[in-house]
A and B are shown apart, each in its own frame.
Chain A
Amino acid sequence: MSIVSKSAAAIAAARAEGRPALICYLPAGFPDVQGTIDAAVAMAENGADIIEVGIPYSDPVMDGSVIQAATVQALEQGFKVSQVFDVIKGITARCSATVMVMTYWNPVLRMGVDEFSRRLAEAGGAGLITPDLVPDEAAEWIEASDRYGLDRVFLVAPSSTEARMKATVAASRGFVYCVSIMGVTGARDTVSDAAAAVVAAAHAAGAENACVGLGVSARKHVEEIGAYSDGVIVGTALVAALRDGGSEAVGRLTAELSGKSVSA
């Protein structure tokens, strides 16, 4: 079976330009569905290679207060899981960025892993990033993602053993998400030294693409991490920008992160 990974292609294109891929997160339905699409397009126009759309969930144990507040707002406004497919269609209709979905597992399980995967593929989504699903429990998802040609991005952490690193890299398609720090999402002044070691371990375990997330908020982090990784993932800082200044502020911050000049 030959599945062409959309996220690996986006990372390869960035690599061809001599830079790490920039992966930008925002939650679906925040500030509302149209606002998510507008902000994602602003990200794409200002240097984001991959857009990571999060599904708001009632119990987001890997998220810090900024992202929690945004997803709570989306849920209070009545966000429904199936609207994530509208968000993806809205984004891909207006730009060429690769769109991934970041989701806790229960909403996928509730819809049905096969149905969710089919609809994600139909909407033009590239795959899933799954913060609370480890490959050990992912048999159904691995099968469905193969069936629909989707990327599956699992997380690896500073605490991952060599054996788990190998198994997780082997189970992933597209890239592996290297958690830079033992903690939850949130902007931090410095990015932990642990990140370089996690990336090195992921590469040693055979990962073609190892991207770093958690705590990344500024251009200096992108440069620093970009020196040893294949991509840089920014979440909280962008969500705060969206909260405070709308999609225009998101565009500005994305341009700054990517080292490009702002495009409206």
Chain B
Amino acid sequence: MTPMTGEPEVGKNQPATDPSHSLRHAAGPYFGAYGGRWMPESLIAAMDQLNDTFEAAKADPSFIAEVKELNKNYSGRPSLLTEAKRLSEVACGGVRVFLKREDLNHTGSHKINNVLGQALLAKRMGKTRIIAETGAGQHGVASATAAALMGLECVVYMGAEDTRRQSLNVARMQLLGATVIPVTAGSQTLKDAINEALRDWVANVENTHYLLGTAAGGHPFPAMVRYFHEVIGEEAREQILAQVGRLPDAVAACIGGGSNAIGIFHGFLDDPEVQLFGFEAGGDGVDTPRHAATITLGRPGVLHGAKSYLMQDEDGQTIESHSISAGLDYPGVGPEHAYLSDIGRVHYEPITDTEAMDAFSLLCRTEGIIPAIESSHALAGVLKIAARKIADGAVPEETIIIANLSGRGDKDVGTAAEWFNLIDTDAKDAK
């Protein structure tokens, strides 16, 4: 990490209204020392075309109206902001917790925000085919959904290991008309699915848009994916003001590549009184080799088109990540997060598999909501923030935390049933 000694805390000494000091709407390609375009020349023309199309669309009221209409009447936005009163009582010492309910969006996660926007851009570019990578299947399902809605051909690359872990989501994508290609190269997980999608893109870039699912990759992907998710933070900010009349003390989100996190953070970046927390996948623990805590333990490097923190060995080879949550099982992280970490605006820390699964169970039983295991990392983080606030002397009832509930847990029922030993061993053996 860059030492921050002597640097002014961003946002503290400058009025948030001064646009020159705003952290919002960072345009890229660079976020401090991160971002850029570390990728093959063959793809640069397509990235330029995408950037130009995106910039023109942002300035086009008809595009903005189209996105709004789809968000409202197809995805079901605005998503609710639900106060989790029993969770607060049972596990947070009375600290008030609000859940931003991205789990209630069509297809069950925040991913739909980005795919609808990018699919519209694909059509504007005259492309007839989209390709996507997926780990848990959420982004693959969302991409297949957008492709079906807009009449585009869709091919989803998924690590062979993940197609086995998430066979129901493979069937969902196929039902939606997508072709799912299992990737047998490398570790057979998300990063290898991205490699394979990039190889496809290089060969088919003329008619194909690569619909990247997270706020990583070369410019303009990080800024563009964030743009389509900014709605999460904007809604949450308005909703909390309407419900309690003030901004929260903290906002928490889980972070793999970081798209749901950057979306909700964006609404609060220029509110210095709101602390922001990103919770990475700690896997078996950051004292073991099995985790995906990229910012906590990674070093700057380049992967999949961007310079950012990266889990890598002393030779610059990517280290395979591990998390119980396939959606967080990625050895990189979006470049804007790397920047926000370095300047101290967002605090990043790891949550282990066990902590996440405990929080998963807790939310099921206190609120009647089955969260995605990804989002359970944010919930586990909320418990920690609440405990610290109380230890610091905060009045619990006057302390407010928003957690981004980025997805629902239906897809994780198999994993959770196994984790909590709910599956009959004989039946499992018979499979």
Which residue numbers of A lie inside 8 Å of B, CB to CB? 57-62, 64-65, 68, 72, 75, 80-81, 105-111, 131-134, 136-137, 154-161, 164, 168, 179, 182-184
Contacts and interface: CB of A to CB of B under 8 A. Distances in A.
A60 B198 CA distance: 10
B40 A136 contact: no
A80 B314 CA distance: 9
B205 A110 contact: no
Size bracket of the B interface? 35 or more
A55 B295 CA distance: 26
Contacts, number: 114
Given A110-B312, A159-B46, A183-B202, A131 B302 contact: no
Which of A61, A68, A72, A136 has the largest count of B CB atoms less than 10 A from its CB? A61
B89 interface: no
Nearest to A72: B186
B316 interface: yes
A59 B195 contact: yes
B392 interface: no
B40 A132 contact: yes
Given A159-B205, A184-B203, A110 B315 contact: yes
A261 B310 CA distance: 49
Given A61-B304, A132-B302, 6 more contacts: A110-B301, A156-B41, A160-B41, A182-B42, A183-B202, A184-B202
Interface in B303-330: 303-304, 310, 312, 314-318
Query: By CB atoms of chain B within 10 A, which of A105, A108, A155 has the most?
Result: A105
Contact of A111 (B39, B48, B192, B316): B316
Interface string B179-212: 0000001100001100100110011111000000
A182 B38 CA distance: 18
Contacts of B38: 105, 132-134, 137
Main secondary structure of the interface of B (DSSP, over half): mixed
A160 B44 contact: yes
Given A57-B317, A58-B317, A111-B316, A137 B45 contact: no
Contact of B36 (A62, A75, A108, A137): A137
B408 interface: no
A134 B317 contact: no
13 contacts: A58-B186, A61-B195, A62-B202, A106-B318, A109-B316, A110-B299, A132-B39, A137-B36, A137-B38, A156-B41, A182-B203, A183-B203, A184-B203
Contacts of A159: 41-46, 205
Contact of B206 (A59, A72, A106, A182): A182
Contacts of A108: 316
A109 B307 CA distance: 10
Contacts of B337: none
B111 interface: no
Contacts of B204: 182
Contact of A68 (B36, B45, B185, B203): B185
Nearest to A108: B316
Contacts of B198: 61
A80 B316 CA distance: 10
Contacts of B39: 61, 132, 134
B37 A137 contact: yes
B3 to A, nearest CB: 19
Contacts of A106: 301-303, 310, 312, 316, 318
A179 B301 CA distance: 26
Contacts of A136: 36-37
A108 to B, nearest CB: 7
Given A133-B38, A136-B37, A184-B202, A110 B316 contact: yes
Given A131-B40, A159-B46, A107 B202 contact: no
Contact of B315 (A81, A134, A157, A160): A81
B312 A134 contact: no
Nearest to B299: A110
Interface centre among B312, B314, B315 (most CB of A within 10 A): B315
A160 B303 CA distance: 22
A197 to B, nearest CB: 14
B342 to A, nearest CB: 17
A157 B41 contact: yes
Contacts of A157: 40-42, 45
B41 A168 contact: yes
Nearest to B36: A137
Given A107-B315, A107-B316, A184 B199 contact: yes
Nearest to A56: B317
Contacts of B37: 134, 136-137
A160 B45 contact: yes
